[in-house]
């Protein structure tokens, strides 16, 4: 027998299909099920400015929505944004029961959508597969509650916890299979970030390869001393998305020629404070809700100490680099008690380990 949880998993499947596309909006999926258990409508929110998942599902169901149950991964909205309130459409369609995976963290909704539906006699239940829905939309929740993008730290590591043979030395560690997974991860985020040390050591392009992106991929360099060279390969790939250099007003004043060269190369200079916790907020103006922080170890340690890391991904290769190696998180101790394990997978010869971070670490 098909259960409520089965229907919600189907709604979550539809929500995931828009990963990497909906920013600054959440990922939402919805299905309409008749009293007889027949799925008559389904939909997802495809991009910001487009109708919401509930609208597509109700349109798909048509008159069959009357007396049916709507399963949706996020509380239906009740305010006018780029589109009208979904609650009105649900009421008009004759839905008699709504099952939502989680409440909407947006203060304009947050319980008010539920209250409006209940005021019109609709039975509402919230929380089914709520943990799955919350993880799917953690970026949206972080933006709404903390006013900054969700930060994902990703690092390749040897078995002895080293990222490179020596500090500043480019050391490929991971297999082709793991590298392909990394490209898919890049394809699902809004921006990739590194520190200026990584630009100087590796000269990366930070593009998403071997996967299709519908939105530009922003590349961010945290560079308090404005060391990024205008000849960096990043600027040869501006067609993939903007390059944003977060520096300080003092560095720009100290190095005006380099600042001008970076602007001429196509860089967007942001005069920040030099404090990661504050400066990362500036990225919301670029519609960046998910920031993949790829390197290096000092940058990872700084983000951890700033309290802005929300997810950690470590790809561990079956090799040992020795005592001279550059240490993971620059040697900063990260207690396992601060992490919520999500998955460990074997990808080729490597182990892909993923964990969420306690919000109060």
Residues designated catalytic? 54
Phi/psi for 200 (5° steps) reads: -70, -35
- Using CA atoms, how far apart are residues 179 and 347, in angstroms rounded to an integer? 10
C-alpha distances in Å from residue 75, one per residue of 97, 117, 341 = 13, 10, 27
Residue 292: beta bridge partners? Answer: 152, 192
- Cα separation of 232 and 60, whole Å? 49
Is residue 30 a contact partner of residue 73, using CB atoms and an 8 Å limit? Answer: yes
Measured between alpha carbons, how far apart are the two ends of the chain, in Å? 42
202 membership: H or E segment, kind and range: helix 196-202
Radius of gyration of the chain (CA): 22
> How many angstroms separate the CA atoms of 149 and 275, rounded?
15
Q: How far apart are CA 321 and CA 339, in angstroms?
A: 25
Angle at 292 between CA 291 and CA 296, to 5 degrees: 125
DSSP character string of 306-348: HT---EEEEEE-S----TTSEEGGGG----GGGEEEEEEEEET
* Matching residue, tokens 């259960």: 3
Three-class secondary structure of residue 16 per DSSP = helix
59 within 8 A of 90, measured Cβ to Cβ: no
Q: At what angle do helices 86-93 and 53-61 cross, to 10 degrees?
A: 20
């Amino acid at each position: 027998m098909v259960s409520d949880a089965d229907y919600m998993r189907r709604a979550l499947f539809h929500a995931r299909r828009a990963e990497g596309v909906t920013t600054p909006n959440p990922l939402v999926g919805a299905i309409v099920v008749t009293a007889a258990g027949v799925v008559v409508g389904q939909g997802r929110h495809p991009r910001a400015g487009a109708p919401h998942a509930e609208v597509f599902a109700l349109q798909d169901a048509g008159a069959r929505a009357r007396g049916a149950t709507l399963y949706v991964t996020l509380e239906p909205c009740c305010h006018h944004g780029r589109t009208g309130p979904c609650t009105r459409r649900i009421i008009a369609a004759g839905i008699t029961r709504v099952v939502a995976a989680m409440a909407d963290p947006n203060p304009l909704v947050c319980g008010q959508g539920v209250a409006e539906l209940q005021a019109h006699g609709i039975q509402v239940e919230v929380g089914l597969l709520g943990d799955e829905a919350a993880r799917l939309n953690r970026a949206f929740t972080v933006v709404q509650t903390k006013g900054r993008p969700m930060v994902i730290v990703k690092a390749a590591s040897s078995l002895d916890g080293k990222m490179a043979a020596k500090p500043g030395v480019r050391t490929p560690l991971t297999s082709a299979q793991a590298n392909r997974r990394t490209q898919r991860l890049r394809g699902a985020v809004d921006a990739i970030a590194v520190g200026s040390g990584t630009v100087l050591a590796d000269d990366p392009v930070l593009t998403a390869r071997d996967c299709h992106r519908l939105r530009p991929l922003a590349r961010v360099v945290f560079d308090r001393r404005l060391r990024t060279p205008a000849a960096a390969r990043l600027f040869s790939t501006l067609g993939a998305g903007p390059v944003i250099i977060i520096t300080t007003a003092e560095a720009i004043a100290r190095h005006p020629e380099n600042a001008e060269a970076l602007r001429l190369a196509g860089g967007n200079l942001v005069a920040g404070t030099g404090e990661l916790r504050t400066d990362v907020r500036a990225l919301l103006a670029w519609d960046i809700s998910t920031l993949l922080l790829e390197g290096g170890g000092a940058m990872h340690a700084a983000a951890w100490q700033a309290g802005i890391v929300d997810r950690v991904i470590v790809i561990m290769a079956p090799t040992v680099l020795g005592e001279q190696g550059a240490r993971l998180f620059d040697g900063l101790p990260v207690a396992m008690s601060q992490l919520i394990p999500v998955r460990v997978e074997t990808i080729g010869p490597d182990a892909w380990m993923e964990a969420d971070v306690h919000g109060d670490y």
